[in-house]
Structure 1
Amino acid sequence: MKEQFNISIKKYKINLDVHLLWLTYFPFIGWLYPFIFKKDDAFAMHHGKQAFIMALLFTAIPIAITFSAAFIPITWRVIKLIFAILIYLSHLAYFALCAWGLLKVWDRSAYEFPVIMRFAKKLDV
């Protein structure tokens, strides 16, 4: 399997090497790449575990908010609006963390997200 692809756009004079490891922080499914294809690479698994925990966390948060909003009376519309805004903010935070993780993979640094890494170290994959 080829690990690196070269993308070049001659019109704009862009030449970019794309590594498949960058897919690790693709939202919600990117963690599958290191888990399936890079089990022997410690760097890939380090970031894959973090991406997996982030995907679980940021899937569970909107689900918990949605189910808790079901118990709020319909007349409390402001509270329901706040819950909807919280769901959108959680997605925004997740996409921002995915972008941050992508930059760390791009720099080849073994960055540890503070809270997420505590749970990722418990994964035995």
Structure 2
Amino acid sequence: MHATHDPAAPPASDIAFDDFLAVDVRVGTIVAAEPFPEARKPAYKLTIDFGATIGTKRSSAQITEHHACDDLIGQQVAAVVNFPPRQIGKFMSQVLTLGFPDADGKVVLVQPGRPVPNGGRLF
């Protein structure tokens, strides 16, 4: 199954609730952000604190259109924390930071509407 960034794409087929539970989406706070000039598409290297149980993880995120690198520190984001790590150039991305496409397909981060404890799981 391949995710699409097309907002006009039809909904994915039905899944069982247990399939949803298999995807571990957690909230964390960005503690470091730096440009990732080696990436094929414009991206940042993020370090995200998911609290004591999960710890700090790194992620490559293509969020440069709507998010300035310096403004990301301290922001909370949602990420899938149970995918296998993915090698992106010389960088190992350990979690998938989540976002939605805007009208032009540029990524807008998924963020809680108010502060929540790091490591909280989406339900």
TM-score normalised by structure 1 residue count: 0.24
Identify the structure with bigger relative contact order (alpha carbons < 8 Å, sequence gap 6+): 2
Higher strand share: 2
In terms of Rg, which structure is larger?
1
TM-score normalised by structure 2 residue count: 0.25
